[in-house]
Structure formats: structure tokens, C-alpha cells
Amino acid sequence: MYQEKLKIDWLPILLWLVIMLFGWVNIYAACYTETHASVFDFSIQHGKQIIWMGVAMLLAAVIMLTEPRLFSNTAYPIYGVVLALLVVTLFIATATKGGKSWIDFGAFKFQPSEFAKFATSLALAKFMSAIDIDIKKTRTKVIAIALIAMPAMLIFLQHDTGSALVFAGFVLPLFREGLSGSILIIGVAAVVLFVLALLVNKYILLGALVLLALFYLFIWLNKRTARDYWRVLGVLAVCAAFVFSVDFVFNHVLESHQRERIDVLLGKSDDLQGSGYNVNQSKIAIGSGGFFGKGFLNGTLTKAHFVPEQETDFIFCTVGEEWGWIGSTLIVAAYIWLLVHLVSMAERQRSRFARFYGYSVASILFVHLFVNIGMVLGLVPVIGIPLPFFSYGGSSMLAFTILLFIFIRQDASKNQLL
């Protein structure tokens, strides 16, 4: 048996525990009723979550005891198995709330898409740590994108758009490995243009873009070459094409509930009983919390189940209502602290595999955090993905724990690994 002295970084483990326990407290509050007051009532979500938390801790311990190279060596097989599971899911899945991402195992259900995240992270890290890899090469890009896109597409086909979107997070580790920064700018610009195209008259928007281009060409730049003209013209043309395709995408590619959710977010629709209901209730619940919150178990809306998906995707409402601004801020701070620390940890890795994997972990958690809390706060359209370690749910709890602890395991023996 391989023996080494582990140098475990306890900070992320501590944050993981804190977030998980606080998450459980809020699930308890969300599910609490006088008849189900017992903490160990396993018929109800908060009781089940205790089991999942126990399993997660066990799993974490097991991962810490594994041989460090295990995961880099088995990255591709794991990836392959998960892909296969995703394909199988497509055929045998039980439909739940419009999505087909659950495999039913009788007593409990299992969501393969949750496990696709760490599997893809492993595979991509493995691929990116090969000797002759350079992200600037087209071949590398194509393979990397394919590795990301395959599970993402399969998940998308399961109508689990949210989980599919998470794979966009791999942009960050790729960016760290040398992918041009313009990808981030283009991404942000695309979102901004998309929103503007929906809100503003397209010709006015186009006029503004032309003005911006003229400003750039004749005032910003001191010297202009013919190339500059062509480049600006090219960007303008792409932008125009994008703006005019927005309507098509919006009306024909997106599904009706997605369209409504975007409309609600942009304030174009306020169907408070329909598609705007969740977000409105969620904002009311959070807003009513005030500075200190209403106190544990005193959340009126939480207890009254005004917010659907209270214990899963909308769990953050409970935090906002019962723990107020102070509690919400502390939770956000804990997450950001964990993310920033994960980046620092990744930077101190000596192997490229571990570093890339670390970035992947941070990025996936980040996308979840951004989409989930952003949705609850009414900043992002409603996309149903869980808040890591916090939302009720066994698959996500276990998958996120595996995702995180593989990295902590790598980090603990970073000095032995090259």
C-alpha cells in the first residue's frame, strides 16, 4: 500500500462542513412542520439529507484514503462510464418536472448529470495535462470542446438546460491554461447584446453599435490601418447578424417557459401567478428578511411553502428570510472564500492535471453559485440547478463532494506528485 504523509488543507474542508450544516439547518426550516419536528424523521427531506450528509462525509474520507494517482489514471474510463450512463438515462429516465435526468432505483433516484461534472473535469484535466497540448492549437481546442460538449449535449437532450449550462464554466480553467481572454469578453458582450436586443429597438441598437465603432476608429485609435477598418467592419457585421438572430433564437430555439422566464427577468412580463411566481415569491421571502432576518423557523413564507422548490433550488430564500442580510452575506462570503481559496490551491499545484482540475472544481461551483443565487435574487432567469452542498438532494450532494474531495486529495499530496 502506498504510504505518504498527507498535508491536508483543512480550510476548504471546514468551509464545506459549515456550508453543508447550514444548508441542512435551512432545509429543516423549509420542511419544518409541527408534525415533522424531529430532526431524525427520515420520511421527510431534512431527515433524508442527514443520511446524504453522512454518506458524503464517508465518501470524502474514502477519497482521502485513495491512491492519489487513481483519478488521473482512471479519468477517461470514468468519463466513458458517465457518458454511457447519460445515454442510458435518455432512454430509461423517469420524467420529473419536464426534465428526464433521473434514473429510478426503486427506493431512491439518481441523477447521472450531477456526476458528469467531475467526470468531465477529470477527463479534461487529463487531456490538458498531456505533454504536447497547447490550447492555442486548433486541434487541442476541438478536442477540448468535444470533451465538454458531449456530456453537455446529452444533458441538454434530457431537458436539463441548467445542468448543461454548467459546462460553460470550463471556459475559466481553459482561460487559465492560455485560451485567449477575448473569449470572456465575447461571452459577456454576447449576453449584453442578447438582453439589449430583446429590450431595445434593434435599429437603435445597431446605430449605437455603429457610433461605438466610429468612436473607436476615429477617436480612440491614433493611427488607422486598412486592417483596422476591416476588423471593425467584421465585428460590426457579426454583431448585426447576432442582434437580428436574437429574435429567431428567442422565439424558435428557446422553449416557451424559457422565453417567459427571460421576459420576467427583463421586466417585460409580470405574470405573478404564472411564470413570474417563483421569482416574485422568492424576492418577497428574501426581502422580508431584513437585516437580521426573522430567526430560525420563523420564516413565514418559508414555513408556508410559498416558494416552490423551497428545499432544493430555492433554498437560499430560507437563508434570506430567516437569517436576513447578515446571514445571506455570510453564506455568500463563505462560498466566495472557498472559491478564491480553491484557485489559490490550484495555483500551488505542481502537476498541470491537479491545477486544471482545481480550476474546474472552482468554476463548476462558481457557475452553480452564480446561477442559483442569481436566480433566487432575480438577476438570472430561472434555471433549476442546485446550490452546491446546500440544496436538498443526494445526487448533487455526493457529486459535489466527490468533485471537491478529489481535488483536496490531490492537494494533500501535491509534493509527491509530478
Binding site for other proteins (CB under 8 A): 33-34, 134, 172, 175-178, 181, 273, 283-291, 298, 300-301, 303-306, 320-321, 324-325, 328-329, 332-333, 335-336, 339-340, 343-344, 346-347, 352, 359, 362-363, 366, 369-370, 373-374, 377, 379
C-alpha span between 161 and 253 (Å, rounded): 12
Give the other-Cβ count within 10 Å of 206's Cβ.
17
Q: Which is closer to other proteins, CB of 158 or CB of 363?
A: 363
The CB-of-354 to other proteins minimum distance in angstroms stands at 12
Which residue lies nearer to other proteins by CB, 114 or 321? 321
In the complex, the smallest distance separating the C-beta of residue 341 from other proteins, rounded to whole angstroms, is: 10
- Tell me the C-alpha distance between 334 and 20, whole Å: 11
The smaller minimum CB distance to other proteins, of residues 128 and 246, is found at 128
Place of cell 413570474: 276
**Nearer to other proteins (CB atom), residue 143 or residue 254:** 143
**How far is residue 4's CA from residue 89's CA, in Å, rounded to a whole number?**
40
Q: Between 78 and 179, name the residue whose CB sits nearer to other proteins.
A: 179
Closest approach of Cβ 348 to other proteins, in Å?
A: 10
- 154: CB partners within 8 A, 6+ apart: 83, 86, 87, 89, 90, 116
Q: How far is the CB of 46 from other proteins (least distance, A)?
A: 17
User: What is the rounded distance in angstroms from the CA atom of residue 362 to the CA atom of residue 369?
Assistant: 10
Shortest distance (Å) from residue 94 CB to other proteins: 26
Nearest approach, Cβ of residue 15 and other proteins (Å): 14
Report the residue number, 229 or 292, with the smaller CB distance to other proteins: 292
Angle between helices 277-287 and 352-376 (to 10 degrees): 90
Of 150 and 373, CB closest to other proteins: 373
Instruction: For the CB of residue 287, give the shortest distance to other proteins in the complex, in Å.
Output: 2
The rounded distance, in Å, linking the Cα atoms of 275 and 281 is 11
Give whichever of 161 and 280 is closer to other proteins, judged by the CB atom.
280
The nearest distance, CB 370 to other proteins, in angstroms, is 6
CB of 392 to other proteins, least distance (A): 18
Rank residues 317 and 406 by Cβ distance to other proteins and give the closer one.
317
CB of 49 to other proteins, least distance (A): 21
